[in-house]
Structure 1
Amino acid sequence: MNQRLKQFPKRHLLLATTIAASIMGVMALLPSGDVEAKRNEIPMTIDALQPQESAPELTSSITTSQPEPFISSQSTDKAEASIKELEQESDAKALAKAAYDLEQQLGKWHNITIKSGDNLSALFNAQGLSASVVYQVASTPKYGDTLARIRPGESLEFRINQEGTLTQLRYEKSKLESIFFTKADDGYLAELVTLSPEIRPTYASGTIESSLFLASQKAGLSQNLTMELAGIFGWDIDFVQDIRSGDTFNVLYEEKYLEGEKLGDGDILVASFTNQGQTFTAVRYTDSQGDTDYYTPDGKSMKKAFLRTPVDFTRISSRYNPDRLHPIFKTKRPHRAVDYAAPMNTPIKAAGDGRVQFSGWQNGYGNVVFIEHPNNIVTIYAHANKLTGLKKGQRVRQGQIIAYVGKTGWATGPHLHYEFRVNGVHRNPMTVKLPDAAPIAKKEMANFKKQSELMIARLEKQSDTLLATQ
């Protein structure tokens, strides 16, 4: 009976159900005799009630004072829900069977986490797979060679069927990026699968008591976000020399989630930093060419054409001083540079874009690099332990590593000796006015203003809300 019912469309089954309900309602309302009041006669031929032989046509008379028979929407909903429930049960069984059949054909997944010292051959061998299978997978066009660069913490998922054939392999490079290898007739096919995380804007603020690092840690910012924050405002604020107790910051940044799990932090969207009573605001903006940078609310670049300090130093061991007593020669010699003490082999970065004027050894400087910049500016980086092999005339970009801190030449300890010359004249690197980088292009200004005003308003709203709750 159930099999025969399944042959009929759901719409027909619903119709049959509701008609049957209507008939029962009509029969309950049938009078015992003719009614002389105003009436509508509704002829109904009920073939379903005569399985053996034909019966005379049954006619019912219903007065206008009685309601016409109707089909309850609640009854219809119940009937439809019952049919849908049966269909869902049938679909679930079909899906379960399909999943079982697929598992029998392809095998179950087995996950392993790569550890230090693991190699591809050993991992495959542990799964009972031969060297020829390793070769086939590693030779897969486009993505096979990525398996030669597996790292601890990444994972491999093997799918091996009952015949011992590797039917699928999943190489998870990160939570958002995996490569799937699938068995084909003549080897394996590979596909890169990239997931997009959910981005949640998040607000944080802090007040500095002793250092930016401790204040940002207390505010819940990661170390990477703290470094990014310092990098954004680093052209205007020296986070070693200028920071004062009571300085404040407000940050609106991205957090990345996948299926409810936090994966990490994204970019800072907008931030403000108040240093010694002066507030700086930076907004992240991507132009029509896809270039992204941070700008002031009026469209000026947060960057300067030069880094204020080209090395992550621990202290200033010697300041710019025309009357300094030389520590080696014990004579009064001008010190037209700033010495930044730092651990041995700390990276030294190019302060700005330019071309290499000299890279090599000079007596007092030891290992040294001279970089020529636009507007007749030359920067000098001396006493390096080792250089990066730059050649004369080679172009370098701001922030590019050009050498590593050392104590070569006339130096008593590891530090960077940094000079800044304009038209051949020495200037104090700590106080010289640095030229700005390029501002927002005119054609981008309207769109930038619209976006920046919105972001700044969101930051201020969050800040006001926090203050109101304190």
Structure 2
Amino acid sequence: MSITLTRLPKLHKVSIAFISVIITITLFSLPDFDDLTRNQPKLEVGKIYPLEMTNEFLQSKAPSKNWLQWQLHTIQSGESASVLFSRIGLPAKLLHQLITSDTDIKTQLSRLRPGDILNFGFNQNDQLIELIRPLSAYQSFHIYKQGDVFTSKIESKNIDIQYNYTQAIITSNFWNAASNSGLTPNQIMSLAGIFGWDIDFALDLRAGDHFEVLYEDRFIEGRNIGQGNIISAVFTSQGSTFKAILNPKDGNYYDEDGRAMKKAFLRSPIDFRRVTSNFNPTRRHPVTGKIVAHRGTDYAAPVGTPIWAAGDGVVEKSGYNQFNGNYVFIRHSNTYITKYLHMKKRSVNTGQRVKQGDTVGTLGGTGRVTGPHLHYEFLVNGIHKNPRTVNLPQSKSLTGQDKSNFIALAQQNLAQLKRYNHLLIAKE
């Protein structure tokens, strides 16, 4: 090897410093420069001189073998782990080794569904060293080879939470207003669920009602992975305002005074939909034409729509007759009974215990009706009450120090929601 010395033009001090850094970095592995130049003749510019290099410098180190070649495979319809391994040319013996090394590996590889992704990592000898199954945007199941066996663990990425705010005034219906405000379908249903013990979303909402929502935006490594929990919300319907704040300690929602939003009964036993007739004690019967008491509420929805138990209780009667069609009566205590009429089919039996939200049947048009709908009745001590306005018993609310801590948090979150509202108004 030889080098040629070339005279450099006059450079700025910064440039010279920069060059010296480059030289230092480039020659870091050479022997000491003084050792190289000691007892050497004076070098002349423009002349070529041989340069002897040590064997240690000339013999390049072998590249690191700590690398993997990755192959991404998607589970196809009807495929199991064994079918996938066969399709991509991996031996059944390897799959047996995987599932017998670790119980969690066996569980994960037995739960594969079409569309799931497996990422195989092979070394330079085409041996499987690592296998990754993404579980969500922030979690993945990792399999590692250690010696002759495989081990596994779930790895999670840090999720950064930021708060976001939206509000809307209802003009046509709640769903459109919420969707146009930027809420996801899951958040819309969550919002309806939070206030579903105070507002019948099928009957109570009017044009001009409005809501405000403070919710989570979730980020991983700066990338938005979707919206999260509703932190606090205010809903005003027909002049009444309801406030709900998430308690992170138990995951439930309470009002600003620590009273549980959840009540013993749902206001509506069905997803909010179009309603054919309201609560009306002097309503004309659609079949006979006679004015008779219509002690309940009718909900129109597609045939087959699930009907929920409004509260916990025991099925007092599940049967059929020519007037009620398929019907279910639920006794919730010595005080409360709910009735569900004209169902297409019943999903519970007499004497069966049910929980709030359990499906008791599906909407239909059996019995004396002019069209498919659910007729729902709410009785208190044997007297029919309007389920939309009757006072409902509360679930357990916060007490003691838990209540004090929550009220402080609620005031903070509601104040933050108010600040967002003021900022939005200021921008307009």
Q: Which band: TM-score by shorter chain?
A: 0.7 to 0.9
- Whether the 8 Å contact between 2:309 and 2:355 is mirrored in structure 1 is yes
Are positions 1:122 and 2:83 aligned together? yes
Pairing of 1:438-457 with structure 2 (within 5 A): 438-457=396-415
Alpha-carbon separation, structure 2, partners of 1:99 and 1:364: 84
Task: Report which stretch shifted further, 345-354 or 404-413.
Answer: 404-413
> What residue number does 2:330 align with?
371
- Cα distance, 1:162 vs. partner? 4.2
Q: Deviations over 1:96-118 (max 9, x none)?
A: x8984112xxx311122334444
- Whether the 8 Å contact between 1:155 and 1:173 is mirrored in structure 2 is no
Are positions 1:101 and 2:65 aligned together? yes
Q: Deviations over 1:197-238 (max 9, x none)?
A: 111111112233322322223322222222222222233333
> What residue number does 2:159 align with?
197
> What residue number does 2:139 align with?
177
Are positions 1:434 and 2:392 aligned together? yes
> What residue number does 2:211 align with?
249
> What residue number does 1:345 align with?
304
Q: Can you give the 5+ residue segments of structure 2 that lack an aligned partner in the other structure?
A: 1-16, 30-60
- Whether the 8 Å contact between 2:297 and 2:376 is mirrored in structure 1 is yes
Alpha-carbon separation, structure 2, partners of 1:466 and 1:165: 58
- Whether the 8 Å contact between 2:318 and 2:329 is mirrored in structure 1 is yes
Alpha-carbon separation, structure 2, partners of 1:421 and 1:278: 24
Are positions 1:392 and 2:346 aligned together? no
Query: How well do the aligned residues superpose, as a CA RMSD in angstroms?
Result: 3.2
Percent of aligned positions with the same letter in both sequences? 41
Task: Report which stretch shifted further, 141-150 or 181-190.
Answer: 181-190
Pairing of 1:108-147 with structure 2 (within 5 A): 108-139=69-100, 140-147=102-109
Alpha-carbon separation, structure 1, partners of 2:240 and 2:277: 28
Structure exhibiting the larger radius of gyration computed from Cα positions: 1
- Cα distance, 1:453 vs. partner? 1.1
- Cα distance, 1:297 vs. partner? 1.2
> What residue number does 1:402 align with?
360
Q: Deviations over 1:5-51 (max 9, x none)?
A: xxxxxxxxxxxxxxxxxxxxxxxxxxxxxxxxxxxxxxxxxxxxxxx
TM norm structure 2: 0.79
> What residue number does 1:46 align with?
none
- Cα distance, 1:343 vs. partner? 0.9
Are positions 1:465 and 2:419 aligned together? no
- Cα distance, 1:332 vs. partner? 4.9
Paired residue secondary structure (1:420): strand
Pairing of 1:51-70 with structure 2 (within 5 A): none
> What residue number does 1:214 align with?
176
- Whether the 8 Å contact between 2:143 and 2:150 is mirrored in structure 1 is yes
**CA 1:277 to 1:423, structure 2 compared with 1: closer, same or farther past 3 Å?**
closer
Alpha-carbon separation, structure 2, partners of 1:245 and 1:319: 17
Q: Can you give the 5+ residue segments of structure 1 that lack an aligned partner in the other structure?
A: 1-77, 91-96
Paired residue secondary structure (2:275): strand
- Cα distance, 1:437 vs. partner? 2.5
> What residue number does 1:226 align with?
188
Paired residue secondary structure (1:175): coil
**CA 1:388 to 1:244, structure 2 compared with 1: closer, same or farther past 3 Å?**
closer
**CA 1:280 to 1:427, structure 2 compared with 1: closer, same or farther past 3 Å?**
closer
Kindly indicate which of the two structures has a greater share of residues assigned to helix: 1
- Whether the 8 Å contact between 1:323 and 1:333 is mirrored in structure 2 is yes
TM norm structure 1: 0.72
Alpha-carbon separation, structure 2, partners of 1:328 and 1:207: 38
Q: Deviations over 1:104-153 (max 9, x none)?
A: xxx31112233444432332223210223233334441341222222344
